[in-house]
Amino acid sequence: MISEHASPLATIGGVDAGGQNIYVAHTARHLASLGYAVDIFTRRDSPDLPDIVDWMPGIRVINVHAGPPSFVRKESLLPYMAQFARAVVDHAREQRDAGTPYAVCHAHFFMSGLVARRLKQALGVPYVVTFHALGRVRLMHQPHDEFPPQRCILEQMVIDTADAVVAECPQDELDLARHYATPVSRVRMIPCGFDPEELQPVTRSEARRHLGLPAERPIVLQLGRMVPRKGVDTVIRALGILERRYKLSPLLLIVGGESAEPDPRRTPEIGRLQSVADEEGVRADVQFVGQRPRSALRYFYSAADVFVTMPWYEPFGITPVEAMACGVPVIGARVGGVQYSVEDGRTGFLVEARNADALARRLAHVFSDPSIPRLLGKRARRRAFERFTWQRVARSLADLYAEVATAAALTRPAVAQGN
Ligand code: UDP
C-alpha cells in the first residue's frame, strides 16, 4: 500500500489525519489476517521515525525519506513525490530480487497513485487506486483550494493506467465516470467500514457517566476533522434555530481538532466555530471536546441521542457508519457517501447540505419522541453490521487484488528460468 500523507500510525483527528489513515490501518490489519503480507509506504514526517516499523505480524510501515522529516500539508507534497517514487521502486526491486515480489499495489490518494504508476512502469506491478477525494469534485465545492493546478490531469493519468479503481460509494462511481471518463469495467464499488471491537456500544447512561455528561439532557454529536468543508458551522446554526424556533436546547458535542485540548490557536477552525456559536447565542450549549483517541470514541457515540454530519461533499464519510455501529441514528447531508450509508427515514435522515433550517427541523422531529431515535438507531446498527465492517471491506479488496494480479500475470511476458 502507498499512502503518502496518511500513515496508519498517525494520531487521528487533525487537518490531514482522518479517514484515509483509518482505512489504511484497518484494511491492512484484515488483509494480514487473510494471509497477506502488507508493506505500507508513507512519508517520514518526523525525525524520530525509524525507516521500517514492524507494526504487527504481517504488516510493516515503511517511512519513506522524501522531503523534510516534518509535517508538510498535503497541498504542498507533490514536489517530493518523484523522490518518494524512486525509494518505493528501489525497495520493490529489492523485494523482487529476494524472491518476494509485490503481487499488487494499492495506492491511496492521487499522489500515491503517481508512485504506483511509476512502480508499474518500472517493474510491472499492477495497481489498484482509491482516491479518497477527487480533485474535480473538490474544485466544484472549494474553487480556491491550494492543490497544484495539475492535480486533475495527474488523477486522469493515474486512472488511465490503473488496473482497477475503487469507488467508495455510488456517487463516487458516478463522479469517476462523469468527470474522468473511467470505464465502468475498471471500477469496483467497495465502501469503508468500522471495527466492531473498537466501536462496541455501551449504554447511554454508562457512556455519559464515563464522560461526565448530563444524564438526561438531549445530546447531539459532531465528530471528525475540523475543516470548513465538514460544515460544522451549519450544525451550530441549526442549534440556534432549534432554540429560537422549537424551544429545544440540546447539548452539542464537537469532537476533533489538532490537540486533545480544544485550542483555537492549534485549531483555527475551532476559533471560527466559536464565533458562529456566539453569533447564534448558543456558546453555552456547544462543548468543544478536542481530538479523541480511538478507544474513547465509543463513549462519545453511545452518549449521543443523534449523530450529525453536514459536509459540503463527502467521498465516503466513515463517522456516520461508526455512529450507526453504536446504535445511534444519523442526520446527514444528502451528499456523497452519506446518502449511501444513511437510509433516509429508516436509519436516520438526509437533509440538504448547508441548510441549517432543514437540519433543525429534523432534529426537532427526532427529539419529539424518544422512540424515534431508538427505532432508527436499532436499524442503523443492523445496517452497519450488514454492510460496513472492515472485515467485509478487506475481503472485497482481497478479491479485487486477486483478479488484478491474475490478469497481470496472464499478460506478463514469460521470463525464462535462470535469466
Ligand atoms: N477521528 C478520531 N478522533 C477524532 C476525530 C476523528 O479518531 O478526534 C476519526 C473518526 O472516528 C473517523 C475519521 O477520523 O474514523 C474521520 O473519517 P471520515 O471518513 O469521517 O472523514 P475524513 O477524515 O476522511 O474526511
Nearest residue (by CA) to ligand 1, atom 21, is 19
Q: What's phi and psi for 124, nearest 5 deg?
A: 75, 15
Q: How far apart are the first and last CA of the chain?
A: 29
Nearby residues of 174 by Cβ (< 8 Å), 6 or more positions away? none
Q: How many CB atoms lie within 10 A of CB 27?
A: 28
173 pLDDT higher than 50:
yes
Mean residue pLDDT across the chain: 96
Cα–ligand 1 centroid distance for 224 (angstroms)? 5
Q: pLDDT value at position 329?
A: 98
Query: pLDDT, tens digit, for every residue of 58-117?
Result: 999 999 999 999 999 999 999 999 999 999 999 999 999 999 999 999 999 999 999 999
What topology is assigned to 204-387 in CATH?
Answer: Rossmann fold (3.40.50)
Mutational test site, ligand 1, from 9, 11, 15, 22, max ligand atoms within 8 Å of CB: 22
Mutational test site, ligand 1, from 15, 137, 258, 297, max ligand atoms within 8 Å of CB: 297
Look up residue 416 and give its three cell numbers: 525464462
Helix ranges, 336-370 (H): 338-341, 356-367
341 pLDDT higher than 50:
yes
Provide the residue ranges of all domains of the chain, joining segments of one domain with +: 19-193+390-411, 204-387
User: Exposed, middle or buried by CB within 10 Å (0-12, 13-18, 19+), for 184?
Assistant: exposed
Average pLDDT over residues 209-234: 97
User: Is the fold of 19-193+390-411 the same as that of 204-387?
Assistant: yes
Q: pLDDT value at position 418?
A: 44
Q: pLDDT value at position 414?
A: 66
Residues touching ligand 1 (Cβ under 6 Å) are 12-13, 18-20, 22, 223-225, 255-256, 291-292, 294, 297, 316-319, 322
Query: pLDDT, tens digit, for every residue of 237-259?
Result: 999 999 999 999 999 999 999 99
Cα–ligand 1 centroid distance for 19 (angstroms)? 5
Q: pLDDT value at position 14?
A: 73
What ligand 1 atom has the least distance to the C-alpha of 257? 8
What ligand 1 atom has the least distance to the C-alpha of 256? 8
| CATH number for domain 19-193+390-411, candidates 3.60.20.10, 3.40.50.2300, 3.40.50.2000, 1.10.132.20 | 3.40.50.2000
Q: pLDDT value at position 415?
A: 57
Q: What's phi and psi for 165, nearest 5 deg?
A: -120, 130
Mutational test site, ligand 1, from 26, 309, 316, 319, max ligand atoms within 8 Å of CB: 319
- Cα–Cα distance between 237 and 361 in angstroms, integer? 12
User: How many residues are given for the chain?
Assistant: 419
The predicted model scores a pTM of 0.95
